[in-house]
Amino acid sequence: MYKFFATFCLVAGLGAQPAAAAPAGTDDPAAYSAATVARANGLTRALAGRVPLDEAQYIRVRALHLRMLAERQALAISLSGADPAARDQALAAAQQRYEAALAGLLRPAQLVAYQGLRSSFTAHRL
């Protein structure tokens, strides 16, 4: 029984892959960690509940959220020891890229609704 358990643990340990950020430009959810996918799904569902999205937009916005979350995680890791002002500047630039990409995905009426919501919500409430 001990040998079986030890072998099982060894095989399970070798088969497990560490959760890493997906390569840039990858929209496949399988390339991201489960936590990132869950967070992106939650953000997309919350946005779709407030700004009606069609199916194609939902898929593109979800992919955008996956890329945004992976980029923010990579920035947080790479700038962990950096000056807080530099970290804030890099995160602000990433947020601006996200906002611009989202604006490109939404129709004008949806964008107006999103901008109205943006002033009243925080990431915590999403």
Please give the pLDDT value at position 125.
47
Q: How does residue 27 score in pLDDT terms, banded at 50, 70 and 90?
A: low
* Confidence check: pLDDT of 77 > 70: yes
Q: Which of 19-23, 25-29, 86-90, 117-121 has the highest mean pLDDT?
A: 86-90
Question: Is residue 4 predicted with pLDDT exceeding 80?
Answer: no
Per residue in 31-71, pLDDT tens? Answer: 899 999 999 999 999 999 999 999 999 999 999 999 999 99
Beta carbons of 114 and 104 less than 8 angstroms apart: no
Tell me phi and psi for residue 76, to 5 degrees.
-60, -40
The structural domains of the chain, with segments of one domain joined by +, span: 29-124
The whole-angstrom distance between residue 14's C-alpha and the CA centroid of its chain comes to 27
Considering the chain, what is the average pLDDT of its residues? 81
Q: Give the model's pLDDT for residue 116.
A: 87
